[in-house]
């Protein structure tokens, strides 16, 4: 670290950010490296497509090939194939519309208007997905090509060449994506779990010291409530990450090189993600109850809050372990998680016992004690399920 700081001394701030970005791209398999690979592969695919379309074919519109190669370069092989099929279909539909109307009515303004209406309507077809707008784009380019050439044969050849160039670009782009470091976002599933578990850890770690102090103020509990309510977008991102990880396996030759073929179903990751999602919703309910807390003298709740703080401390220890899950060290982490889950269950039982000893009104809906006890039990069960899922996964 001292060496890096020495190298960065005297370097402008923007240059430091650039150096650090490239350092992350070089040393870690993260977003930066994925970006570099995607740019490099897109550049190579575009160059190869240009060589074939311009130098080999001497095409009238050679840019169609490299443009197509870049358009279908996706983060997964599966998406590259799917987008290639959709893109070729969209371009073929656009050219077909122009050809049908152009050869029937000629290169007139009304013909162009009819081409635009029909192409834009076809582009709304759900099957084409994000490639729908390419129908109109291809139709307009085809119309331009049609009016700039003469003779029926020449026009047919030029329109057919557009589709051929698109096919060449799509084939080259997909081939490059498969042949050179095909994206295997297997770690995205782990990162999704890390993100949710990290959020749970931050929230539990923030709450339990204050509860142990026995003093709750509206500003603090309100912050907890907002923090717990804000995890919805994080859950959506985690779901997206898991979906990308699962999708990256389809049609990917690298899946044959992985050691743990049985884990490619992502069943364990999905189960843990489901559990963490439910756990965060329960934490949201817990923080709402704490935010509605009111000071009272009818009951002695100080020791109850201390026991609850002990329980949440156990929760944050489990969350910390889950937030660092790594498939390569999963057996050791699972053993640690089993011990931590057993400790959390014991502390949950102490919460229930303390509530009974103090005679707290657990059945009174106007007070938070009952909800807190219920959520403690639910959290314990969910964390136990996470531990059991990972343990059974390791045993496979």
Q: What are phi and psi of 106, to 5 degrees?
A: 90, 170
Other Cβ atoms within 10 Å of 204 Cβ, number? 24
Q: Burial of 395 by CB count in 10 Å (0-12 exposed, 13-18 middle, 19+ buried)?
A: exposed
Nearest to 261 by CA among 249, 273, 274: 249
pLDDT of residue 241: 78
pLDDT of residue 260: 43
The dihedral of CA 306, 307, 308, 309: what is its sign?
A: positive
Domains of the chain: 11-22+31-179 (no CATH), 186-250+262-395 (1.20.58.220)
How far from 378 is each of 102, 193, 281, 286, 371, CA to CA, in Å?
68, 19, 11, 11, 10
Question: Within 13 A of 163's CA, how many CA atoms are on the CB side?
Answer: 20
Within 8 A by CB and 6+ apart from 66, the residues are 45, 46, 47, 49, 50, 53, 169
Question: Within 13 A of 188's CA, how many CA atoms are on the CB side?
Answer: 22
Between CA 44 and CA 176 the distance in angstroms is 8
Mean pLDDT by 10 residues, the chain (396 residues): 51 77 71 82 96 94 93 84 94 95 90 95 94 95 91 92 96 91 70 87 91 81 88 82 75 59 62 89 90 63 88 94 84 91 95 88 81 92 90 73
**CB of 199 closer than 8 Å to CB of 97:** no
Between CA 87 and CA 71 the distance in angstroms is 9
pLDDT of residue 342: 95
DSSP reduced 3-state for 74: coil
Longest dimension (CA), the chain: 97
pLDDT of residue 366: 75
């Amino acid at each position: 670290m001292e060496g890096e700081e020495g190298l960065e001394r005297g370097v402008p701030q923007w240059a430091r950010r650039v150096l650090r970005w490239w350092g992350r791209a070089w040393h870690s398999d993260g977003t930066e490296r994925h970006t570099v690979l995607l740019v490099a592969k897109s550049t190579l695919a575009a160059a190869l497509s240009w060589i074939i379309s311009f130098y080999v074919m001497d095409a009238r519109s050679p840019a169609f090939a490299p443009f197509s190669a870049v358009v279908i370069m996706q983060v997964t092989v599966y998406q590259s194939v799917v987008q290639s099929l959709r893109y070729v279909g969209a371009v073929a539909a656009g050219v077909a519309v122009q050809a049908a109307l152009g050869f029937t009515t000629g290169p007139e303004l009304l013909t162009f208007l009819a081409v635009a209406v029909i192409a834009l309507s076809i582009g709304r077809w759900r099957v084409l997905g994000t490639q729908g707008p390419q129908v109109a784009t291809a139709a307009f380019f085809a119309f331009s090509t049609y009016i700039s050439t003469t003779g029926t044969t020449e026009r047919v050849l030029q329109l057919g060449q557009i589709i051929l160039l698109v096919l060449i670009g799509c084939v080259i782009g997909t081939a490059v994506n498969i042949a050179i470091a095909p994206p295997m976002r297997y770690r995205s599933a782990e990162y999704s779990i890390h993100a949710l578990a990290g959020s749970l850890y931050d929230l539990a770690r923030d709450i339990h010291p204050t509860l142990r102090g026995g003093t709750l103020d509206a500003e603090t509990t309100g912050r907890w409530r907002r923090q717990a309510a804000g995890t919805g977008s994080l859950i959506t991102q985690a779901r997206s990450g898991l979906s990308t990880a699962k999708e990256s396996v389809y049609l990917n030759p690298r899946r044959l090189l992985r050691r743990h073929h049985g884990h490619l179903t992502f069943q364990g990751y999905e189960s843990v993600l489901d559990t963490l999602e439910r756990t965060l919703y329960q934490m949201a309910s817990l923080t709402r109850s704490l935010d509605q807390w009111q000071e009272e003298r009818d009951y002695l709740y100080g020791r109850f809050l201390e026991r609850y703080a002990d329980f949440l401390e156990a929760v944050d220890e489990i969350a910390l372990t889950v937030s660092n899950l790594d498939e390569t060290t999963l057996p050791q982490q699972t053993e640690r998680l089993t011990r931590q889950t057993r400790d959390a269950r014991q502390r949950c039982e102490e919460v229930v016992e303390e509530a009974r000893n103090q005679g707290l009104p657990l059945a009174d809906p106007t007070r938070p004690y009952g909800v807190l006890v219920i959520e403690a039990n639910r959290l314990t069960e969910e964390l136990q399920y996470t531990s059991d899922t990972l343990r059974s996964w390791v045993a496979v």
